[in-house]
Amino acid sequence: MRYAAITDRLKDLGGDKWAIHNAARARMAKGEEVIELTIGEPDITPDPALIEECVTALRSGRTRYSNGRGEAGLVDALVETYRPRMPDIGPENVLCFPGTQTALYAVFTALTSDGDGVLIGDPYYATYEGVVQASGAHVQPVPLHMEHDFELQPADLASAITPESRVLLLNTPHNPTGAVLTRDTLLALGELCIAHDLWIVCDEVYEALIFDGSFASPLEIEALRERTIVVSSISKSHAATGFRSGWAIGPAEFTRRLLPISETMLFGNQPFIADMTEAALRGNYPTAALLREALGRRAALVHGLVQQVPGLSSRLPAGGMFIMIDVSGTGLDGDAFATRLIEEHGVAVMPGSSFGNEGLNLVRVALTVPDADLREALSRMGTLSRSLLAGAA
């Protein structure tokens, strides 16, 4: 039987990247003890008052069809939320989606097609390659260097741009490295995008989780607004990953063209979840502050412990839910180290190869477990590292 080309483009870009995570879950299902440090699932629940907003909306009958743009109350809340960065924003600049992932898929369907290039800092989030290649475009990786704290360097971007380049995909704070782009860096990157007529798509889902310093968005730079699309959600800021409620903010012409694609995909989100999302945006919930404090503390804890382990090194992330650890000093790459770590020591981390070629010698550690579990995990990583170095002696 015949299949569409998209099935070949994406055949290795789905669950295969999560093999270690899936292996950990299989072990746990058998009753084995595993310290799971693979995914960015907050270890706190959404605020009870926010859950109540959703339940109240359900009970009041907010279960009927919505529309392609989004529920009016949520759209208005998003306009108010983004107005400080985009003074002339209106409902025509907003589209709602079930999560950032769906928003990204729709956005790249609208912006790219066969042969187009999308510039992405490498390492990059595991699903980015899939949302790019689904449209027929291809990833143009731009190396992110540990010595620069993984912040995308304008010179590296300039070297990666080709005539095929159509979009620069940014993610700040960055998954998997925790890098946060400064306004000065965004200005420099933006100048290159203007010079080469590139769109900027910025995934800002970790915006509320910066440990130190301030957040900067290309949307707040007037010269970049006509070419900038921001995507985000309440998944991280409100620990509401399973509710799948996100959005895209962009130029009116862009959202006008994107709307039929969105309507073809899903024709509206669930109104009761939209009501909860509106409440999240308008309310003053402590979830993000609680997460920010815990994640920042854990990042410093893990970074400090890594410095005590021969063969391992790391940089302190500036935000997000993860820290990257370089394991090349042990003599293994990230895949081999992650495999040995779960099989011999019961600790599951993501191998850096899941995030691009620049991550081959790295592993990603999620900071979403209690401090005691992180200490134990680093102790076991130290045991593996020391045994590898002793064997090589």
Mean pLDDT of 332-359: 95
Helix, strand, coil percent values for the chain (each to nearest 5): 50, 15, 35
**Alpha-carbon dihedral 266, 79, 245, 291, rounded to 10 degrees:** 170
Are residues 270 and 300 located together in one domain of the fold?
A: no
89 in the same domain as 53 = yes
**Residue 351 and residue 258 share a domain:** no
Radius of gyration of the chain (CA): 21
Among candidate residues 182, 188, 169, 141, the one with its CA nearest the CA of residue 228: 169
CB atoms within 10 A of CB 144: 26
Assess whether 170 and 185 both reside in one domain: yes
Q: Which residues contact 226 (CB under 8 A, 6 or more apart)?
A: 251
Rounded distance, CA 317 to CA 303, Å? 9
Nearest alpha carbon to residue 268 among 276, 257, 259, 277: 259
Look up the CATH number of the domain holding residue 217: 3.40.640.10
Over the stretch 169-183, which tens digit does the pLDDT of each residue have? Answer: 999 999 999 999 999
Q: Is the pLDDT of residue 391 over 90?
A: no
Same domain assignment for residues 222 and 343: no
Does the pLDDT of residue 267 top 90, yes or no?
no
For residue 15, the model assigns a pLDDT of 65
List of residues 6+ apart from 215 with CB closer than 8 A: 172, 180, 204, 207
Domain containing 73: what range? 48-282
Chain-centroid distance of CA 170 in Å reads 10
The verdict on 352 and 379 lying in the same domain is yes
Which of 282, 314, 345 terminates a domain? The answer is 282
Specify whether 277 is located in the same domain as 352.
no
- Report the distance separating Cα 253 and Cα 174, nearest Å: 28
Across residues 323-350, what is the average pLDDT?
Answer: 97
Q: Is the pLDDT of residue 4 over 70?
A: yes
pLDDT greater than 70 at residue 393? no
Residue given tokens 């010269």 in the structure block: 223
Assess whether 98 and 157 both reside in one domain.
yes
Mean pLDDT of 179-189: 98
pLDDT of residue 202: 98
Nearest to 106 by CA among 239, 269, 237, 243: 269
Q: What pLDDT band is residue 8 in, cutting at 50, 70 and 90? A: confident
Average pLDDT score over residue span 209-225: 96
Q: What CA–CA distance (Å, rounded) separates 361 from 352?
A: 7
Beta-bridged to residue 229, according to DSSP, are: 201
Separation of alpha carbons 263 and 273, rounded Å:
18
Domain boundary among 282, 312, 327: 282
User: Across the beta sheet with 347-351, what order do the strands follow?
Assistant: 35-37, 347-351, 362-366, 322-326, 313-314
10 pLDDT exceeds 90?
Answer: no
Average pLDDT for residues 85-98, to the nearest whole number? 97
| Whether residues 245 and 299 fall in one domain | no
pLDDT digit string, tens, across residues 243-264: 999 999 999 999 999 999 999 9
* CB-based contacts of 65, cutoff 8 Å, min separation 6: 267, 268
Domain end, chosen from 260, 282, 304, is at: 282
Give one DSSP letter per residue of 310-376, joined into a string.
TT-EE---SBSSEEEEE-GGGT--HHHHHHHHHHHH-EEEEEGGGG-GGGTTEEEEE--S-HHHHHH
CATH of the domain at 19: 3.90.1150.10
- Specify the DSSP class assigned to residue 296: H
Distance between CA atoms of 41 and 39, rounded to whole angstroms?
6
Say whether 140 sits in a helix, a strand or coil: strand
If asked whether residues 243 and 184 sit together in one domain, one would say: yes
Q: How far is CA 48 from each of CA 53, 179, 241, 276, rounded to the nearest angstrom?
A: 9, 31, 15, 11
What does the pLDDT look like over 280-335, one tens digit per residue? 999 999 999 999 999 999 999 999 999 999 999 999 999 999 999 999 999 999 99
Number of structural domains the chain divides into: 2
E strand or H helix that includes residue 143: strand 138-143
**C-alpha dihedral sign at 111, 113, 119, 122:** positive
* Residues 142 and 263 reside in one and the same domain: yes
CB 209 within 8 A of CB 179: no
pLDDT at 182: 97
**Prior bond of 173 cis (ω within 30°):** yes
d(CA 156, CA 144): 8
Same domain for 208 and 109, yes or no, is yes
Local structure of 228: helix, strand or coil: strand
For residue 344, pLDDT over 90 is answered with yes
Helices (H), 30-136: 48-59, 72-82, 100-111, 128-133
Answer whether the bond into residue 46 is a cis peptide, omega within 30°. Answer: no
